[in-house]
Amino acid sequence: MAYTVKQLADLAGVSVRTLHYYDEIGLLMPDAYGENGYRYYDEDALLRLQQILFFRELDFRLDEIKAIIDRPDFDVLRALQTHRVTLEEKAARLTGLMQTVDKTILRLKGELGMSDKELFEGFDEEKQKQYAEEARRRYGSAEVDDSMKRWGNYSSAQKQQIVAEGEQIRRDLAASMGKGYDNPAVQQIVARWHQHLRYFYEPSVERLRGLGQLYVDDPDFRANYAKLDPKLPEFFRDAITFYCTDKT
Amino acid sequence: MAYTVKQLADLAGVSVRTLHYYDEIGLLMPDAYGENGYRYYDEDALLRLQQILFFRELDFRLDEIKAIIDRPDFDVLRALQTHRVTLEEKAARLTGLMQTVDKTILRLKGELGMSDKELFEGFDEEKQKQYAEEARRRYGSAEVDDSMKRWGNYSSAQKQQIVAEGEQIRRDLAASMGKGYDNPAVQQIVARWHQHLRYFYEPSVERLRGLGQLYVDDPDFRANYAKLDPKLPEFFRDAITFYCTDKT
DNA sequence: TATAAACTATGACGCCGCGTCAATGTCAAG
DNA sequence: CTTGACATTGACGCGGCGTCATAGTTTATA
């Protein structure tokens, strides 16, 4: 199914002018030009445009984006995973700014001694750029970044967010408990759960085809994850019950 | 204490060129020029620059920023509070993008049916701009926005974040338990706690001079907040114990 | 006290990522 | 067969600085 410029523009929430420009600089070329000169985009363009938007969101310049996603070894899946971490970095930065807001409010009320320097805490994008620098090297390359996936490597803000995500998934699953394990909505949640687990436990996530299996099999995992989220045992108990009663 | 350009630039994490430019367009003028032509900034410039950076962070244009903070009725405190909400909006948007990342990963793995439209969910800044539009009108005006401060008005992403903040404060307090209530660090945490409570319970926050008092007095509040954060009763118990043992 | 290093100033040009016209051609519906 | 929505290319311009260049001033060190 081919999209015209406006169709794609509306779908992706960008302007027609932007698509023209991306074509002009060779960043996103249409699948084909009609004999009238019209641009027609195919499915591949969707994913490519999505990548472009993600990178743009993370403050990459368009020529950088082009260089990255044109590399023959560019790996979309890996890129997406890196996007996620980088988005979390960005969110954590915003959290830092919120704290600066709070502290400034208290300073203005005279309730808090606050150094001049602290007034500007969180604005700096140094870490951000540092990360991007790494990312520029890493995107697309087959180089593995397992080190980032160890719990100890996350910042506390990231940890909070990750735990919150876990809780959300748990709530969602709880809300879908009645629907039966083979219900597509439930399957989606389970998939999100598998995805989520990658934060903690990479190597044998593939073993997680059966929900909770790892929790049952691996006392080490059980202990570690339970430390992060005290309600997790409950969750697993429920989930396993859920899984078993439905499967048998 | 007067800052030179570089001193201020380093402190705030902006470039000297930026300060020159802000002077040029009248956005941030130095307190005084030396006879050598040097710029010297005073304390007021710090807060003004901080405001500028906050607005810039929220994608306001410099001329808009100038118009806003030059208004005679510009209210820094109110602006800061609005900043906070807007920052949360931004963070929530990033959360949405993370979900799009997750879903795209699953789509690529074939584990999830996902419409083309969903590929671009979260990129749109419409809400963002809509909010900014409101903000432009509201910043500096004395108009009250209490409606935003009711729990029901928060998005679920915001709620998550607010709860996470509460948990963080609780952890911080727990870590400071030994230091005595009059310890400045503890007072800071208490102040953050008071600030935090404004999310839920605006009118009588002033009554919260004694920590936990409201929890003791108001069963309605007790019930409502406990629903949000199951561990809160513990916290209050600890906090009250802490407060009482130290006060008596 | 000489000199180097670090800071300051004021111009002026250039860049990116489009927005925003303008002029013109094409397609689908009534 | 008109009308309106859509398509094209081309050109100009903007915001927010980065990045020189040129030149004066202050501070540290030898």
Q: Do B65 and B84 belong to one domain? A: no
Highest mean pLDDT among A81-95, A158-172, B142-156, B224-238: A81-95
Length of chain A, please? 248
Q: Write the CB contacts of A218 (distance below 8 Å, at least 6 apart in sequence).
A: none
From the CA of B36, how many Å to the C1' of D26? 11
Of residues B148 and B90, more confidence is placed in B90
**Number of domains chain A contains:** 3
- Between CA A121 and CA A134 the distance in angstroms is 23
Q: What is the pLDDT of residues A189-210, one digit of tens each?
A: 665 665 555 554 433 333 333 3
Sign of the CA dihedral with B103 first, then B104, B105, and B108 last? positive
State chain B's maximal CA–CA distance in angstroms. 70
Rounded to 5 degrees, what are φ and ψ at A29?
A: -95, 145
Q: What phi-psi label fits residue A12: left (phi over 0), alpha (psi between -120 and 50 degrees) or beta?
A: alpha
Mean pLDDT, chain B, rounded, equals 71
CB–CB of A163/A229 below 8 Å? Answer: yes
pLDDT at A186: 59
Of residues B145 and B216, more confidence is placed in B216
Q: What is the pLDDT of residues A73-126, one digit of tens each?
A: 888 998 998 898 888 788 888 888 988 998 899 899 887 788 999 999 889 876
Q: Do A186 and A209 belong to one domain? A: yes
pLDDT at B4: 98
Q: Do B191 and B125 belong to one domain? A: no
- Between CA B159 and CA B92 the distance in angstroms is 10
- Between CA B221 and CA A199 the distance in angstroms is 36
pLDDT at A114: 87
CB atoms within 10 A of CB B156: 11
Task: Name A32's bridge partners.
Answer: A40
Percent with pLDDT over 70 in chain A: 50
- Flag whether pLDDT at A9 surpasses 70: yes
Of the three residues A43, A69, A95, the one that is the final residue of a domain is: A69
Chain centroid, CA A203 distance in Å: 19
Q: What is the pLDDT of residues B72-126, one digit of tens each?
A: 888 899 899 889 888 878 888 888 898 899 889 989 988 778 899 999 988 987 7
Q: What is the pLDDT of residues A40-59, one digit of tens each?
A: 999 999 999 999 999 999 99
Q: Which nucleotides of C are covered by protein (CB under 7 A)?
A: 7-10, 16-20, 25-27
To which residue do tokens 């007790």 refer? Answer: B222
CB atoms within 10 A of CB B96: 18
Q: Do A103 and A135 belong to one domain? A: yes
- Between CA B196 and CA B188 the distance in angstroms is 12
Mean pLDDT, chain A, rounded, equals 71
Of the three residues A143, A165, A194, the one that is the final residue of a domain is: A143
pLDDT at B48: 98
Q: In CATH, what number is assigned to the domain containing residue B199?
A: 1.10.490
Residue A66 tokens, joined:
């082009």
Q: Which of B75, B102, B109 to mutate to test the interface with A (most CBs of A within 10 A)?
A: B102
Q: Do A192 and A223 belong to one domain? A: yes
Q: In CATH, what number is assigned to the domain containing residue A49?
A: 1.10.1660.10
Task: Please tell me if residue A159 touches chain B, with a CB cutoff of 8 Å.
Answer: no
Of the three residues B69, B92, B122, the one that is the final residue of a domain is: B69
Strand (E) positions, chain B?
32-33, 39-40
Q: Which nucleotides of D are covered by protein (CB under 7 A)?
A: 6-9, 15-19, 24-26
- Flag whether pLDDT at B217 surpasses 70: no
pLDDT at B73: 81
Q: What is the pLDDT of residues B188-206, one digit of tens each?
A: 566 566 555 555 443 333 3
Of B49, B95, B105, the CB nearest to A91: B95
Residue A219 tokens, joined:
């006392």
DSSP string, B116-168: TGGGGTTT--HHHHHHHHHHHHHTTS----GGGGSGGGS-HHHHHHHHHHHHH
DSSP A70: T
For residue B166, what are the domain limits? Answer: 151-247
Q: Do B80 and B129 belong to one domain? A: yes
- Residue from A87, A160, A203, A65 nearest B102 by CA: A87
